[in-house]
Amino acid sequence: MTYCKKICCVLAFLVLKTHLSVAGMATTNTSEIHKNASPEAIKIVTTYWNKLQILVASIIQTNPDGKRITGKLYLKKGKGNNAKLRLDYQPDYKQQMLIKKSEVLLVDLTDGAVSAYPVSMTPASLILKPKLDFEKDVKLIDSQQVGKDVQIVLAHKDDENGGLLILNFTIANGGCLLRWKVLDPQGNMTEVELIGDTMRENDSKLVPDVLFE
């Protein structure tokens, strides 16, 4: 089990190639900014990401309209139907999101209505892949590095216009995921920030199958 220390970042850094304001990194020393993350940083991030197979954490989600909600994330990477994700939100936010059997399910907790669509339609599907080479398996749109903070911008290899997945890491202490953002084709961005001191990694007991029934 790995425990990531909570790392606070000032949010003020632009992704240059995509012209997106994907806040997540900042520095007071401009000499620390690299237009491309170093090969060493990419290696650390890739190694960490591919070791991370199960993740449970409290989150703060920022929706495209700017509304911030708290919740809890359960993530289990896998191939095909074995990949699962669940987001439970604060009690007054009457929604739940599940990913199972290759579908995204949006559940309205007030009446039980469910909206479903294939997970392949969203770049968030990349989060569920058990192994990922950022330079071979996906389209690497951009990489940025500010000191120990690294930002990776990805798209499906065969569909760059289908939206972007933006991952923010620290490479300190072997690497840790800080947050991700999903940008849909319409330009709507949803951010999920992980609360570092609540993160639990690679403990299968924390993500039982009953959560997805």
Q: Which residues of the chain have pLDDT under 50?
A: 1-3, 5-34
Domains belonging to the chain, first-starting first, are 34-206 (2.50.20.10)
pLDDT in tens, 119-132: 888 888 999 999 99
Q: Alpha-carbon distance 195 to 166, whole Å?
A: 17
Q: What is the pLDDT of residue 15?
A: 30
